[in-house]
Each structure stands twice: as C-alpha cells, then as structure tokens.
Amino acid sequence: MAGTITLTNHDEIRSWAAARAGFPAIVDVSPEAGTQPMLRLVFGQQAYEDEDRPERPINAGGYELVEWDEWFKIFDERQLALVVAADEPGRREEFHEIIRR
C-alpha cells in the first residue's frame, strides 16, 4: 500500500465510501444501550441488511446502518478524521481507520 490521506470533509468521505460501495454504520459498544456508539464503515456484503434476521438488543455487538447525517454528527462531535489509503491507478483499497484529529 502506498501512502495515506486524512479526510475530514464530509463530501470527500462520502465520495470515498461511495466509490467502494461503503455505508455508514454504528456499533454500540456500551454496557447500556445507546451510550457509547462507535463509528464504522461497512463494505460489500457486510452492508447488506437482511430483513429476515432475528431481532436482537441494540447493544448485542452487531452494527446498524445509519444515515450519513447521524454518522457525521458523532464524527464531528468527537473531532474524528478518516485515514484512507491513497488511490493508485487500477486499485481501490478499502483500508481505512477512524482516528482523533
């Protein structure tokens, strides 16, 4: 992998994810539902939400696909940034890491 780029602009992040069929998601990592959401981006088959999957508690360890507005609200509140692999001709890396600015 070549270098990395740090993104904070919402449009750039959304475009980067869209180019890789990525979707915003939240994982609740709290002992009590709804108190510690962790941001994630999911790609490909992981982004497919099966309508027939059984219901589980909100904080059961899975992720929930969310709208970009909700994702970016947490992203900005926590002053986060998205580190991604620099694009190379003919390759679309899904490598990413969410860090503090």
CA 48 to CA 10: how far, in whole Å?
A: 23
Domain count, the chain: 1
Q: Residue 50 contacts by C-beta under 8 Å, 6 or more apart in sequence?
A: none
What pLDDT sits at residue 31? 64
Q: What is the pLDDT of residues 30-43, one digit of tens each?
A: 666 556 788 999 98
Pairing of strands 63-65, 4-7: unpaired
The angle that helices 68-77 and 10-18 make with each other, rounded to 10 degrees, is: 130
For residues 47 and 99, give the distance between their C-alpha atoms in angstroms, rounded to a whole number.
22
Q: What is the pLDDT of residues 12-64, one digit of tens each?
A: 999 999 999 999 999 877 666 556 788 999 987 655 555 444 554 454 557 88
Report residue 89's pLDDT band, with 50, 70 and 90 as the boundaries: confident
Whole domain around residue 43: which residue ranges?
A: 4-100
Whole-number Å distance between alpha carbons of 84 and 30: 27
Q: Which pLDDT score, from 0 to 100, does residue 37 have? A: 82
